[in-house]
C-alpha cells in the first residue's frame, strides 16, 4: 500500500476523547480514497495527521513504506511531499493565477516553472488563464486553480478537505467527476474528505465511513451500500430501515422471517445460531421493497417524496413497522392509501438487535457468507440518494 495508516490515534491536548481512534486503512498508489462522515467525526484531523500537521499519539502512518508518523516519529509536513487543497480555496488575492499556481515551485528555474504552470493549468482545464486574478474567476474555477497549485510540485499524495463545500450542489457533483478525471490523468494518489455521499461515490475508488473518530468501513461504494459493516454505515449510506427478523433453518434452507413475510433463497445469510434464538434485525433498503398490487402484504403510505423517475414512499405495515420503497413515479398513490408490497432481497444484511435497555446502537459486524456465494452480478445499481434517513 502506498499510504498505510495503522491503528492511528490522534488526541488533542486537553480533550478527553481522541479525535481519531484506532483507524487503519491502506491506499494503493494511483487510487483515490474518500473519507465520509458527519461533521466532527474526525475527517480533518485524520487528513492533517497524514499531512504532518497533527501528531499521532499512537499507531503509525507510512508513506511509500517510509514511517512518517508514530508516537515517537514525526516527519515535518514540508518533508512529506504531500499537497493539500482546503475548503476555502485560499488563493492569494494579490497574485495572478500563474503566480498562485507557481507558488510551491519557486525552486525551479523560471522557464521550467512557467512550463509546469502551463501544464497543470491545462490539466485542470484552465489553459491560458495565467494573468487572471481570483476575483475574475468563478468559484469552480478558483477551486481548480487551487487544485493546479497543489499538483504543481508533483506531490506524492494529494489531500483534499471538502474542497467543494462552498460551491453550489449542482456544480459539486460535476466538479467531483472532473476532479476525478484530473487526478487520474495526473496519476495522483489522493485522499479526499467530504460529507456528501454523491460526491464520495463520484470521486472515490475506495470510501471510508467515519463516526466519532472511528473508521467503520473502508470499501468500494457498492460494498458499503450492499454490505454495510455496521448499523452506522447502513444508516449513513442510502435509504433503508432495520426491521426485526427471526432466522430459522428449515431442512437445508435458511429462512428469514420478517413482518413482510419470509425471505427465502437469500445468499450470505447467517445461520440462526449467530443470534440469540435466531433473532436479529435485517436491513431493508428502499430498493429491496417492490410495489406489487397482487402481494398479500399491504402497507399504508405515510409519506412520499418525488424523485423524478420514482417516488420514495414511507410505508407502515399492519404490524406497525415502517419500511421505505422506491416505486416508479407512474404509480402515483395517495398518502393514506394501502398498497401491496413484497420484499425482494437477494442477500441479507443482519445486525444484533439494538439493546432494548438503553437503545444504544451496537457496533456489530454482520455475519458473513455461509459459503453459497454473493450474487454481485444481478444486484440493483446504486440509487440516487441524497440524505441519510433516521432509522428507528
Ligand atoms: N485543534 C483542535 N483542538 C481540539 N479539538 C479539536 C481540534 N480540531 C478538532 N477538534 C475536535 O476533534 C473532533 C474531530 O474534528 P474534525 O477532525 O474537525 O472533524 P470533521 O472534519 O470530521 O468535521 C471534534 O470533536 C473537534 O471538536
Ligand atoms: Mg472537517
Give the residue whose CA is nearest to atom 26 of ligand 1: 40
Question: For position 69, what pLDDT does the model report?
Answer: 98
* CA-193 nearest atom, ligand 1: 21
Q: CA-based Rg of the chain, rounded to a whole angstrom?
A: 24
Q: Strand 310-317's sheet: what is its strand order?
A: 289-291, 338-343, 298-306, 310-317, 322-328
DSSP 144: H
Give the residue whose CA is nearest to atom 14 of ligand 1: 42
Contacts of 198 (CB under 8 A, 6+ apart): 172, 173, 176, 384, 385, 386
* Distance in Å, CA 41 to ligand 1 centroid: 8
Give the residue whose CA is nearest to atom 7 of ligand 1: 12
- Conformational region of residue 210, where left means phi above 0, alpha means psi within -120 to 50, and beta covers everything else: beta
Where are the CATH 3.40.50.300 domain residues in the chain?
Answer: 3-224
Q: How far is CA 322 from CA 26, 122, 255, 344, 348, in A?
A: 38, 52, 21, 16, 18
What span, in angstroms and rounded, lies between the C-alpha atoms of 210 and 285?
21
Query: Ligand 1 pocket test: which of 15, 47, 162, 191 has the largest number of ligand atoms within 8 Å of its C-beta?
Result: 15
Question: For position 355, what pLDDT does the model report?
Answer: 59
* Distance in Å, CA 226 to ligand 1 centroid: 30
Positions of the chain with pLDDT under 70 = 89, 355-392
* Distance in Å, CA 45 to ligand 1 centroid: 6
* Distance in Å, CA 15 to ligand 1 centroid: 10
Query: Ligand 1 pocket test: which of 35, 39, 40 has the largest number of ligand atoms within 8 Å of its C-beta?
Result: 40
**Which residues surround the ion ligand 2 when the cut-off is CB under 5 Å?**
44
**In the structure grid, which three cell numbers stand for residue 295, read together?**
402481494
Question: For position 109, what pLDDT does the model report?
Answer: 94
Question: For position 373, what pLDDT does the model report?
Answer: 28
Model confidence over 68-77: pLDDT tens digits?
999 999 999 9
* Distance in Å, CA 64 to ligand 1 centroid: 27
pTM for the predicted model, two decimal places: 0.83
Q: Give the CATH number of domain 240-351; options: 3.50.50.60, 2.40.50.140, 3.30.1360.150, 2.60.40.60.
A: 2.40.50.140
Q: Which ligand has the nearest atom to the CA of 163?
A: 2
* CA-39 nearest atom, ligand 1: 23
* Distance in Å, CA 162 to ligand 2 centroid: 7
DSSP 380: P
Question: For position 360, what pLDDT does the model report?
Answer: 58
Query: Ligand 1 pocket by C-beta < 6 Å: which residues?
Result: 12, 15, 19, 37, 39-45
What span, in angstroms and rounded, lies between the C-alpha atoms of 144 and 97?
11
CATH architecture of residue range(s) 3-224: 3-Layer(aba) Sandwich (3.40)
Please state the φ and ψ torsions of residue 328, each to the nearest 5 degrees. -50, 140
Question: For position 359, what pLDDT does the model report?
Answer: 59
* CA-162 nearest atom, ligand 1: 21
* Distance in Å, CA 39 to ligand 2 centroid: 7
Alpha helices in 91-226 (DSSP H): 97-101, 110-123, 139-151, 169-185, 197-203, 221-226
**In the structure grid, which three cell numbers stand for residue 254, read together?**
435458511
Model confidence over 261-310: pLDDT tens digits?
888 777 778 888 889 989 999 999 998 999 998 999 999 999 999 888 88
Task: Give the N- to C-terminal CA distance of the chain in Å, as an integer.
Answer: 39
Amino acid at each position: 500500500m502506498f499510504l498505510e495508516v495503522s491503528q492511528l490515534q490522534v488526541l488533542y491536548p486537553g480533550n478527553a476523547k481522541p479525535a481519531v481512534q484506532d483507524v487503519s486503512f491502506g491506499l494503493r498508489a494511483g487510487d483515490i480514497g474518500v473519507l465520509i462522515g458527519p461533521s466532527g467525526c474526525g475527517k480533518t484531523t485524520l487528513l492533517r495527521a497524514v499531512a504532518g500537521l497533527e501528531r499521532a499519539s499512537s499507531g503509525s502512518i507510512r508513506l511509500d513504506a517510509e514511517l512518517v508518523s508514530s508516537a515517537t516519529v514525526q516527519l515535518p509536513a514540508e518533508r512529506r511531499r504531500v499537497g493539500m487543497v482546503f475548503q476555502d480555496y485560499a488563493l492569494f488575492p494579490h497574485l495572478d493565477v500563474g503566480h498562485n499556481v507557481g507558488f510551491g515551485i519557486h525552486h525551479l528555474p523560471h522557464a521550467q516553472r512557467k512550463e509546469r504552470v502551463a501544464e497543470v493549468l491545462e490539466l485542470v482545464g484552465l489553459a491560458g488563464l495565467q494573468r487572471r486574478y481570483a476575483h475574475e474567476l468563478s468559484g469552480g474555477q478558483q477551486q481548480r486553480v487551487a487544485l493546479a497549485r497543489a499538483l504543481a510540485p508533483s506531490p506524492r499524495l494529494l489531500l483534499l478537505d471538502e474542497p467543494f463545500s462552498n460551491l453550489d450542489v449542482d456544480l459539486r457533483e460535476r466538479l467531483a467527476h472532473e476532479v476525478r478525471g484530473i487526478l487520474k490523468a495526473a496519476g495522483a494518489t489522493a485522499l479526499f474528505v467530504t460529507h456528501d455521499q454523491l460526491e464520495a461515490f463520484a470521486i472515490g475508488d475506495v470510501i471510508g465511513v467515519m463516526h466519532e473518530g472511528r473508521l467503520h468501513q473502508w470499501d468500494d461504494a457498492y460494498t458499503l451500500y450492499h454490505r454495510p459493516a455496521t448499523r452506522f454505515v447502513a444508516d449513513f449510506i442510502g435509504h433503508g430501515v432495520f426491521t426485526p427478523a427471526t432466522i430459522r433453518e428449515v431442512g437445508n434452507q435458511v429462512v428469514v422471517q420478517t413482518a413482510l413475510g419470509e425471505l427465502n433463497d437469500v445468499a450470505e445469510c447467517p445461520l440462526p445460531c449467530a443470534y440469540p434464538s435466531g433473532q436479529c434485525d435485517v436491513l431493508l433498503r428502499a430498493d429491496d421493497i417492490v410495489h406489487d398490487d397482487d402481494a398479500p402484504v399491504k402497507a399504508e403510505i405515510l409519506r412520499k417524496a418525488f424523485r423524478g423517475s420514482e417516488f420514495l414512499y414511507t410505508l407502515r405495515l399492519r404490524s406497525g413497522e415502517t419500511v421505505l420503497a422506491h416505486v416508479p413515479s407512474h404509480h402515483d398513490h395517495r398518502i393514506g392509501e394501502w398498497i401491496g408490497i413484497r420484499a425482494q432481497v437477494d442477500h441479507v444484511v443482519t445486525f444484533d438487535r439494538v439493546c432494548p435497555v438503553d437503545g444504544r446502537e451496537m457496533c456489530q459486524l454482520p455475519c458473513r457468507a455461509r459459503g453459497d456465494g454473493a450474487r454481485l452480478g444481478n444486484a440493483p445499481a446504486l440509487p440516487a440518494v441524497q440524505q441519510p434517513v433516521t432509522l428507528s
